[in-house]
Amino acid sequence: MPSTPSSNRSFLYSKYFWGFVLLGIFSTQAIYRTAQSRIWQTDTIIAPSTAPPPSTMSKAATPSQSPSRMPVYFLGIGGPNFMEAKDHPAFLKLGEIGREITTKVKPKAVVVFSAHWQHGPSTVAINVAEKMDLIYDFYGFPPHYYEYEYPNTGSREVAENVIEKLSIAGIGVDRVHRGLDHGVWVGFLAAFDPKKNPLNVPIVQVSLLGNEDPDQHYRIGQALEKLRDEGVLIIGAGMVVHNLHDFRKARSSTKVMPYASSFEEGVKEAVSVKPEDRQAAMMALLKRSDAKAAHPSLEHLLPIHIAAGAAGSDVGQRLWALPEGSLNWAQYRFGAVAAV
């Protein structure tokens, strides 16, 4: 698998590249609200707020070795067209990472945060359903897109464990029953092909907060770090660079936007600092001159703040990156993976 954009340039400007533009046209905040209207909310848990002190920036650190606990992943996941772009480099890379997870990491369950589910300003929602349909939270695609299936089950036990840890940290939680949105299942079709590489463990989805505060999302990750010692894998699903406005403007262009590379480089540096300095480094990303261009809105970036918060003493590393137009498909992991 090549890891540089130059070797894939002929593909990058093919029909698949512009197919992803449709995601920006049809997957809007209105769609999220439509999908969320299907949710049945049952109750709320709110605890007193606690917050760790901020830290300061430092130089990059060497990835630590902690194979006895689960690593944490941030996966760059595309829109509806992505599930049929099976020769796209990011699709193939997600397949590699998925095989790493099923053959080496071997989690007992997965807790996932998607860019496509935001909840209250100070409250997250958690799916406590054990049987879940898929949410087709996109419009205007070919009819067969709405016939895709992704076998999955939830876990009330894992969900209650997450609720307990979040409430202890002072984070409000709403229990809901819903399906998996496409911000999870489209990418999981690539990573965990149901026929070739099934995940075969429960999936519990937790929402983002309904705000753009990266520090609050980092603290969500911190609250859930101990899940990693219980065999639960934490995954953030989004994109490290995501500007759909520029995607629409540049339909007839083959240009890769400068921020698609520069901002991702900043993220790589931030996740690789010493763990005690990482929270401040992640916050500093939003002060960069290219931050607003890379993320006009932050929902696709916030999942990596959660992943970084859950990393604890483990240093992050970029597994792979690919700038494409006004996107970047970078994939990250925090923590080591034991050899088989």
Q: Model confidence over 183-194: pLDDT tens digits?
A: 999 999 999 999
Q: Give the model's pLDDT for residue 315.
A: 97
pLDDT(203) > 80: yes
Mean pLDDT of all residues in 227-243: 97
Mean pLDDT of all residues in 261-278: 98
Between 79 and 110, whose confidence is greater? Answer: 110
Between 324 and 338, whose confidence is greater? Answer: 324
Q: Predicted confidence band at 300 (pLDDT cuts at 50, 70, 90)?
A: very high
pTM for the full predicted model: 0.82
Between 37 and 320, whose confidence is greater? Answer: 320
Between 322 and 39, whose confidence is greater? Answer: 322
Q: Give the model's pLDDT for residue 195.
A: 96
Q: Give the model's pLDDT for residue 17.
A: 41
Q: Give the model's pLDDT for residue 161.
A: 98
From residue 84, alpha-carbon distances to 80, 90, 91, 137, 244 in Å are: 8, 12, 9, 17, 20
Average predicted confidence (pLDDT) for the chain:
85
Mean pLDDT of all residues in 104-113: 98
Mean pLDDT of all residues in 92-106: 98
Q: Predicted confidence band at 32 (pLDDT cuts at 50, 70, 90)?
A: very low
Q: Give the model's pLDDT for residue 252.
A: 67
Q: pLDDT tens digits, residue range 12-30?
A: 444 444 444 444 434 444 3
Between 253 and 242, whose confidence is greater? Answer: 242
For the ranges 41-45, 135-139, 311-315, the lowest mean pLDDT is seen at 41-45
Mean pLDDT of all residues in 303-311: 98
pLDDT(279) > 70: yes
